[in-house]
Structure 1
Amino acid sequence: MIRLHVTSDLSANAAVAPTLDQSRYLTNVMRLSRGDELLVFNGRDGEWRASVAETHKRGVILKCEERARAQTVTPDLELIVAMVKKARVETIVEKAAELGAARVRLTVTRRTNVDRVRLDRLDAIAEEAAEQTGRLDVPPVDDPMKLEAILDGWDPARKLMFCDETGGAPAIPALTAAGPGPWAILIGPEGGFSPEEGERLRSLPFTTAVSLGPRILRADTAAIAAMTLWQAAVGDWER
């Protein structure tokens, strides 16, 4: 069944007005008409079975029928990734949504060589991935920030999984030993972290350095591998 992320509050008999683009998708692409059913979610009220109540030139109106699933809590995992080329950062955002990241934060490091990003495009990719994978929320994608600023404002209660490409760091056992709780994963740029950045990251008390194996991975592959390791070790894959 079609799933649609909406911003409206959801409750029994509530009327929901999708965006114009969403309405066109429902009627022109998926060929829904009055009475057809779909699933809607907003990240707050769970997932609801809804039906098309009205169709007109300005869009469609949906009516909530009954709740299909209660709202669940997404693991408190942030993915922090240095900006890379457009196609790769889009893949990272898509896979972050699929693998259960609660938030994606873009960062600028000393070796970052990409300075532009379309956040509206990345938000749309995250939304589509959430709709397709069955999750009940959509991870926000934050404006890029310098890595120094992110670390300066860090909440020490949040553990940081630092993907150390220089070698020598442990893998899953390091995460298991650190335990659950709010986490973040940091993926560096294509040229790796600078020596000064690496030294600072290793010195922070909330950081756990983790190896992703004997090969140097591209940023998108590293993000997927790191999130997979985290989910397997301390995430929600045991559910």
Structure 2
Amino acid sequence: MSSTYRSMGQTDIKARLFVDAPLADGAIIELPSDQMHYLLTVLRLGVGALIAVFNGADGEFAAVISQAAKKQCSITIGAQRREQVYCRDLWLLFAPVKKARLDFIAQKASELGVRVIWPVRTD
């Protein structure tokens, strides 16, 4: 089964989806209703469509929609496409500014994955 996934190219992937489950070759995952709606209704994919799935821990895997019914959708996990990449800690050092701008800096820094926000004094 996994050789089929390996032979398929990047252009065959129809969607990329986060799943909250452990990923391994051959595993079958039942999708929650919001993800089912996204794949089947919004993207109009059906049984046999190739997608990419990831969970933030195991890397990215190819998967195929193996079952699609009105209230149920499951995918079968194929071969791993990419290893999980762990980024180093990102720190932001900044000169203090007005309070309103400080909130904005903190918000945007956290959106970018900054782990430490450190004000520094400049003269």
Deviation (angstroms), 1:224? 4.1
Give RMSD over aligned pairs.
2.9
On the 8 A contact 1:163/1:226 being kept in 2, the answer is no
Gap change, CA 1:165 and 1:75, over 3 Å in 2 = same
Deviation (angstroms), 1:219? 4.1
Gap change, CA 1:218 and 1:41, over 3 Å in 2 = same
On the 8 A contact 1:48/1:67 being kept in 2, the answer is yes
Paired residues for 1:181-220 under 5 Å: 192-193=98-99, 217=101, 219-220=103-104
**Which aligned segments of 4 or more residues in structure 1 are displaced greater than 2 angstroms?**
74-77, 160-166, 216-228
Gap change, CA 1:66 and 1:221, over 3 Å in 2 = same
Report the structure, 1 or 2, having the larger strand content.
2
Deviation (angstroms), 1:37? 0.6
Q: TM-score, normalised by structure 1?
A: 0.36
Number of aligned residues: 100
Give unmatched runs, 5+ long, in structure 2: 1-13, 115-123
Q: TM-score, normalised by structure 2?
A: 0.66
Q: Give the one of 54, 60, 63 matched to 2:67.
A: 54
The residue identity in structure 1 corresponding to 2:96 is: E
On the 8 A contact 1:16/1:61 being kept in 2, the answer is yes
On the 8 A contact 2:92/2:109 being kept in 1, the answer is no
Q: Give the one of 31, 41, 48 matched to 1:28.
A: 41
Deviations 1:56-95 (A, max 9, x none): 1222100011100011103334xxxxxxxxxxxxxxxxxx
The residue identity in structure 1 corresponding to 2:95 is: D
Report the structure, 1 or 2, having the larger helix content.
1
Residue 164 (structure 1) aligns with:
95
Seq. identity, %: 28
